[in-house]
Structure 1
Amino acid sequence: MGSEPGRPARAAGRAPEVRPVRDSPLTTLDTYDLRFSGWGGHPVAAWLLLPSQAEEPLPTVITYLGYSGGRGLVTDHLLYASAGYAHLVVDSRGQGHDTPDPHPDAGPHWVHGYMTRGIEDPHAHYYRRLVTDCVLAVDAARSIPHVDPDRIVVQGASQGGGLAVAVAGLAGDGIAGALPDVPFLCHVRRGAETATEGPYTEIVDYLRRHAPHAAERAFSTLAHFDGVHFARRATAPALFSAGLMDPVCPPSTVLAAYQNYAGEKDIREWPFADHAGGRGATAVEHLRWLRLRGLAPTER
């Protein structure tokens, strides 16, 4: 990824565009369609949700999404704004309906999904573009008047958790905290060796067709986007979570990123949980942790 993955994209970018969602059924939240420049200057869609009539700059949560999911409907994302935060929900290029990936060339040997798109060259891999989008979402958030630029937290589960770890490692002092839940894209080789459900199994399918000669090149490419390496660069405090019976992101992969995370950190381990982790209890842990870190909104 390099030390400044967003630099070329920043040069190609434009100021974010924010438009009210005119037909929103929500009465206690103000909702906006946000478009900002991502990798290559490509437009990336996001939702922005704010408590109604908010005036002062707010602590802000940026959410990255799970694998193969887009930003969906604005009504899918009510928690953080309802708790008084500004909330930015970032679409995943090519995975949602609102953000296309203008560089779909996956190389000659990819299999289904996104893990093997460009797997023979880290410069061409899909996650180079998506991780850059996610870093630039922090830039976009900082330009919004209702966002307190000193209290931005990145959050996500599964793929979104892995992206939160990546941004924590790449954004430096640009964020105040990270909330990666059951993060994907961490210790990728271990995930391919032990996960019994996708998306790591996409790598296995690829290697069954092209192994043994393709394995080292594939994992060399994927190492550029591995959360273990990003975690070593992270300085913001973080709260991780892991499901100890997770077949998608095995707990050993999550713990590898957690143990290598350089910033202040804590983790919630859910002993009998699958990939859903702590389910609704996770949100309670998030809000409590944010308040203890001084990242909660001022009570009205």
Structure 2
Amino acid sequence: MAQFDMALDQLQAYRPTVAEPDDFDEFWTSTLTEAGQFDLDPTFVKIETGTPVFDTYDLTFSGFGGTRVKGWFITPAGAEGPLPTVVEYLGYSGGRGLPFSRQTFAAAGWAYVIMDTRGQGWASGGYESTPDLSSDAGLHHTPGFMTAGLTDPKAYYYRRVYTDTVRCLEAVRGNPLVDSSKIVVTGGSQGGGLSIAAAGLAPYVGIDLAGCAPNVPFLSHFARAIQITDRDPYHEITRYLAGWRDLVPVAYRTLSYFDGVNLGKRAKAPALFSVGLMDLTCPPSTVYAAYNFYGEDGGNPEKSIDVYTHNDHEGGGDYNTGRRLEWFAELFA
């Protein structure tokens, strides 16, 4: 493994042309309006986990299409609100898993939310997961989720997941234990991409986030990623288009509605990114493309990026967790 992408000074200046459809805002406005027709109906059911220093709740809310999306809501035991709140989205293949496996941010004294990713979770197991019940989920695609519904933006898998991220924010901010003015979003890999999507879409529904911390984010600058890496999950798209040769223009048009570069431009929240310069899964140039454009149409919020020069997709690991703890504490103060 070596640094295979651009030199750091080139990455810092990298501002590629990323296609953006003329109806991008209309597409997401109508998508979120459609989702809003379903009763959010958030429920928080307290459960026992064997960790008495925390109060843990089984979270359920209505996401895209009314699908009941699962999650965990964890607070310090006996805490009284309102609390600063960290909402975490999960990496590819991950699900909410077992509630006692992720408690670091609750241990810091904050409310902590883990959102399940519909249709995924095989790497985590654990409690009841969230299905992907959309009829669009059955369209032809390669194994995995990157090409499910790829021929139509309205059918694409990530339309449903991105919408779930926003609905999760709406569900959580109404909880009396949550300080709605101090909500941050975070996650690694796919979770980082979902954090960017949530930050970009939150303004469409009038949510002001306190921060966004994408760690080695996925789902940005698709065209570049497909060009320079043969690792999954991006390579799922390559395999698909190697067979469906006639669908290349259609597929790239669909992906443009979901590109973290285009969504991140619209974000208003301060951001802390991270990147691994030897990352073969989410190449550094794709991360920097999202970072360099982040917030441009949202008032240019403060942003910074932590660079891990000798790391692959693990990025900063626990070093990055510590960095986020410090940064969140600054924001919440």
User: What TM-score, normalized to structure 2?
Assistant: 0.85
**Aligned partner of 1:6 among 32, 35, 49:** 32
d(CA) in 1 for partners of 2:139 and 2:34?
Answer: 27
**Aligned partner of 2:216 among 176, 179, 182:** 182
Deviation at 1:104, TM superposition (A): 5.2
Secondary structure of 1:55 counterpart: coil
Secondary structure of 1:149 counterpart: strand
Residues 4 and 236 of structure 1, relative CA distance in 2, 3 Å threshold:
farther
Secondary structure of 1:245 counterpart: coil
Aligned residue in 1 for 2:101: 76
Residues 47-70 of structure 1, C-alpha deviations (whole Å, 9 max, x = no match): 000011101310000000001111
Deviation at 1:223, TM superposition (A): 1.0
Letter in 1 for 2:318: G
Q: How does 1:21-60 map to 2 (within 5 A)?
A: 21-22=47-48, 24-60=49-85
Residues 202-221 of structure 1, C-alpha deviations (whole Å, 9 max, x = no match): 0010111122x221111110
Q: Does 1:209 pair with 2:243?
A: yes
Residues 64-123 of structure 1, C-alpha deviations (whole Å, 9 max, x = no match): 000111111101211100011100100000113510111154465411110100000000
Deviation at 1:8, TM superposition (A): 1.6
Q: Does 1:258 pair with 2:296?
A: no
Q: Runs of 5+ in structure 2 lacking a partner?
A: 1-26, 122-127, 296-300
Deviation at 1:27, TM superposition (A): 1.6
Q: After the TM superposition, which parts of structure 1 deviate over 4 Å for at least 4 consecutive aligned residues?
A: none
**Aligned partner of 2:87 among 39, 56, 62:** 62
d(CA) in 1 for partners of 2:187 and 2:270?
Answer: 15
d(CA) in 1 for partners of 2:113 and 2:139?
Answer: 36
Residues 252 and 35 of structure 1, relative CA distance in 2, 3 Å threshold:
same
Letter in 2 for 1:81: A
Q: Does 1:220 pair with 2:253?
A: yes
Aligned residue in 2 for 1:277: 315
Secondary structure of 1:171 counterpart: helix
Residues 238-257 of structure 1, C-alpha deviations (whole Å, 9 max, x = no match): 00000110010000000000
Q: Is the 8 A contact 1:63 1:155 kept in 2?
A: yes
**Aligned partner of 1:267 among 305, 322, 325:** 305
Letter in 1 for 2:305: I
Identity of matched residues, %: 46
Q: Does 1:235 pair with 2:268?
A: yes
d(CA) in 2 for partners of 1:50 and 1:108?
Answer: 40
d(CA) in 2 for partners of 1:292 and 1:176?
Answer: 11
**Aligned partner of 2:120 among 88, 95, 109:** 95
Q: How does 1:154-193 map to 2 (within 5 A)?
A: 154-172=185-203, 173-193=207-227
Q: Is the 8 A contact 1:9 1:39 kept in 2?
A: yes
Letter in 2 for 1:193: Q
**Aligned partner of 2:176 among 136, 145, 149:** 145
Q: Runs of 5+ in structure 1 lacking a partner?
A: none
d(CA) in 1 for partners of 2:287 and 2:249?
Answer: 22
Deviation at 1:9, TM superposition (A): 1.4
Aligned residue in 1 for 2:160: 129
Q: Is the 8 A contact 1:240 1:267 kept in 2?
A: yes
Q: Does 1:199 pair with 2:225?
A: no
Secondary structure of 1:5 counterpart: helix
Higher relative contact order (CA 8 A, sep 6+): 2
Range that drifts further, 173-182 or 160-169:
173-182
Q: Is the 8 A contact 2:200 2:266 kept in 1?
A: yes
Residues 25-44 of structure 1, C-alpha deviations (whole Å, 9 max, x = no match): 10211101010110011100
Q: How many residues align?
A: 293
Q: Is the 8 A contact 1:191 1:250 kept in 2?
A: yes
d(CA) in 2 for partners of 1:151 and 1:284?
Answer: 19
Letter in 2 for 1:246: D
